[in-house]
Structure 1
Amino acid sequence: MPIENIPEIYFQNKNTPQDIFVYDFKMTSDVVKSKVNLSMNMFSFLQVGKKQVHFADTSMAVNSKQSLLLKKGNWLWTELLDTEAIYYCKLFFFSEKKLIDFLSKYTNNIKPHKEEVPYFVIENDQYIAAFIDSLSSNTYTNHSYSDALLSLKFEEIMLYLLNKYGDKFEFYLHSLISKEVSPFKNIVESNVYSNLKLEEIAFLCNMSLSTFKRYFAHEYSEPPGKWLQDKRLQRAKELLQKGELKASDIYLDIGYNNLSNFSIAFKNKFGTSPTDISN
């Protein structure tokens, strides 16, 4: 059975990552234990049908009287039709960045319980039902202020649930945040501004270059060469804008072997030469 990368398979523009996203999901036949790689935390607002999610050591089943907040990860989903001939739910995705911004704005800097549960069950009520009805992917794709509206909807449901469930929900939200950078990411991000080549960084990760590239694309959703080049050129721009250094002072430190290659790459990315920035 193929693995479904969600929400990426729902994006209209596959190359544009989104911090917040809503999708109307409909289905007319049962799907049992589909493999899902959920890359963002997600509200599942079930309206018609039944849903069961299998986690590493537990499972949870809900119907339209409940909603689920799911932690990102690899899960097995079973979606079943009820008495109706259709399965229908609203999926509301949000990134870790969006969550951190919300928590820093509205909550205390608390530590979650050691016990981590990959889901939070929400008992639907009239307010939540009205909120679900207000969510529609059409509204938030064809609107001039789509992103701003979605951000407000995200804050609305989060604040409502904080008020409804109190500390229990607040602890859960904090548990959704990654506790530490993986060893792989730690090595990569420690060498972003070094002049190491890809195969040298791969060696530090104890991987062949091909394995490293494959793993990198999975972790960062982008080829390593492009990702590193963008990071290094952005850093170069910041250094040059301070006016204290010239291109000839920094090109080696950000991974270029000669000044000419650096200048060409810089101009291709920013539309201007490094000398114009530093002057």
Structure 2
Amino acid sequence: MTIENIPEHYIQSDLSDKELLIYNLQMSKEIIKTKVNLNMHMFSFLQKGRKEVHYADRAVTVNEKQSILLRKGNCLWSELLNPEENYFCKLLFFTEERLSKFINEYIDKGAEENEEIEETFFCIENDNYLTSYIDSLFNINEPQAKLNDKLLSIKFDELLIYLLRKYGKSFEKFLISLESQKKNSSFKVSIEQNIFSSLSLEEIAFLCNMSLSTFKRHFKEEYNMSPGKWLRDKRLDKAKELLDKENKTPSDIYLDLGYHNLSNFSNAFKKKFGVSPTEIA
């Protein structure tokens, strides 16, 4: 699977001197779990559709009623269409340098500068103000033009000031963490947050910023077992618990435990426990 460098994949020009960029993303087909190397922090303002984003240690899904601020780095994202609608999203990219200018002018970092922030994204509930703000971005059609660059800079400050007023300290701490790039999830946290996800080993390795072979080596050193067997055992143990103690059926749980079809789940379950999952349910 190829890796898309964003925003370079969208904007085919020299971005070396750009601190702020906007892009209108439209599509008529769904894209599922694209490997993304996000090279700038990014606001995603959905107009139509849904977006799912997986980082190494957590995942999030947003719709048209929400916007999201994503930390730069490796992630997987899916762009999903609503019935009979195309996907449409407004993207606003920014660098740490531009963020630092804002923080230095508007935020007294104080003690928060040394606080460890674990979040890779910040979800934003849209309101009337933000809806009007997003609409105003559509009038900035050529972000490379000098006057439009100045206008976009003003609009960027406006957005952050409003979100600071709306969310207070939680948003302030997140902005400071973006500037310092403290985020660095431990290997074990990344693994254990994805035990019951549908992600492949290759996808989990990408989120950990490793090749598949390096990931497998680190995994065996940490857990004394291959990742495939370890994840399979964890998922099947959880399946047995759900079937035995919570009266779930195999059809209820196989997708949530990372299996793509019921037959594969049933065969793996019987191989481990000697009985089919229907005999327990």
TM range (shorter): 0.5 to 0.7
Q: Which amino acid aligns with 2:154?
A: L
Aligned to 1:70: 70
Give the corresponding residue for 2:96: 96
CA shift in 2, pair 1:179/1:67, >3 Å: closer
For 1:17 and 1:73, locate their aligned partners in 2 and report how far apart those are by CA, in whole Å: 20
**1:123 Cα shift?**
0.2
Match of 1:90, SS state, is strand
Q: Which one-letter code corresponds to 2:168 in the other structure?
A: G
The answer to whether the 8 A contact 2:22-2:143 is kept is: no
Using the TM superposition, give the Cα deviation of residue 142 of structure 1 relative to its aligned residue in structure 2, in angstroms.
Answer: 6.9
Map of 1:122 onto structure 2:
124
Residue aligning to 1:48: 48
Q: Taking structure 1 as reference, are residues 147 and 41 closer, same or farther at Cα in structure 2, changes over 3 Å only? A: same
CA offsets per residue over residues 56-89 of structure 1, 9 Å max, x none? 0110000000000000000000110012430000
Measured in 2, the distance between the counterparts of 1:100 and 1:142 equals 21
Aligned position for 1:207? none
CA distance in 1, matches of 2:117, 2:96: 19
Residue in 2 that maps onto 1:158:
160
Q: Distance in 2 between matches of 1:68 and 1:141?
A: 21
Q: Could you tell me how far apart the structure 1 residues matched to 2:74 and 2:176 are?
A: 20
C-alpha separation in 2, matches of 1:168 and 1:117: 11
* 8 A contact 2:4–2:35 mirrored in 1: yes
State the alpha-carbon separation in 2 of the partners of residues 179 and 46 from structure 1: 25
Aligned counterparts of 1:51 and 1:69: Cα–Cα separation in 2? 12
Secondary structure of 2:152's match? helix
| Residue of structure 1 in register with 2:136 after alignment | 134
CA gap of 1:169–1:142, structure 2 versus 1, over 3 A, is: closer
Quote the offset at 1:130 in angstroms. 0.7
1:31 matches 2:31:
yes
Query: d(CA) in 2 for partners of 1:179 and 1:88?
Result: 29
CA separation of 1:16/1:137 partners in 2, compared to 1, >3 Å: closer, same or farther? Answer: farther
Deviates more, 1:141-150 or 1:84-93: 141-150
Q: Which structure is larger by alpha-carbon Rg, 1 or 2?
A: 1
Instruction: Report the Cα offset of residue 143 of structure 1.
Output: 4.7
Q: Taking structure 1 as reference, are residues 4 and 137 closer, same or farther at Cα in structure 2, changes over 3 Å only?
A: farther
Structure 2 letter corresponding to 1:162: L
1:90-123: per-residue Cα shift (whole Å, max 9, x none)?
0000000000110000010232542320000000
Whether the 8 Å CA contact 2:140–2:148 is kept in 1: the answer is no
Superposition map of 1:197-208 within 5 A: none
Contact kept, 8 Å, 2:34 with 2:78, in 1: the verdict is: yes
Q: Which has the higher contact order (CA 8 A, sep 6+)?
A: 2
1:153 maps to amino acid? K
Structure 1 pair 146/138, CA: closer, same or farther in 2 (3 Å)? closer
Would the aligned equivalents of 1:100 and 1:177 in 2 still touch at CA under 8 Å? Answer: yes
Q: Which residue of 1 aligns with 2:237?
A: none
Q: Deviations over 1:158-193 (max 9, x none)?
A: 00000000111001100112358xxxxxxxxxxxxx
Gap runs ≥5 in structure 1: 181-279
Secondary structure of residue in 2 paired with 1:145: helix
Look up the match of 2:276.
Answer: none
Is contact 1:140–1:149 with CA below 8 Å preserved after alignment? no
TM-score of the pair, normalised by structure 2: 0.61
| Contact in 1 for aligned 2:117/2:173 (Cα 8 Å) | no
- Conservation of the 8 A alpha-carbon contact between 2:25 and 2:88: yes
Give every structure 1 segment of 4 or more consecutive aligned residues whose post-TM-superposition deviation is greater than 3 Å. 140-144
Residue type of the alignment partner of 1:14: D
Cα distance in 2 for partners of 1:15, 1:125 equals 32
Tell me, yes or no, if structure 1 residue 5 matches structure 2 residue 28. Answer: no
Q: CA deviation at 1:138?
A: 5.5
Contact 1:49 1:80 in 2 (8 A): yes
Helix, strand or coil at the partner of 2:97:
helix
Report the secondary structure of 1:8's partner residue.
coil
| Cross-structure match for 2:19 | 19
Residues 1:138 and 1:158: Cα distance change in structure 2 (over 3 Å)? closer
Identity %: 47
**Normalising by the residue count of structure 1, what TM-score does the alignment of the two structures yield?**
0.61
Alpha-carbon spacing, 1:2–1:156, altered in 2? closer, same or farther (3 Å): same
Gaps of at least 5 residues in structure 2 are 183-281
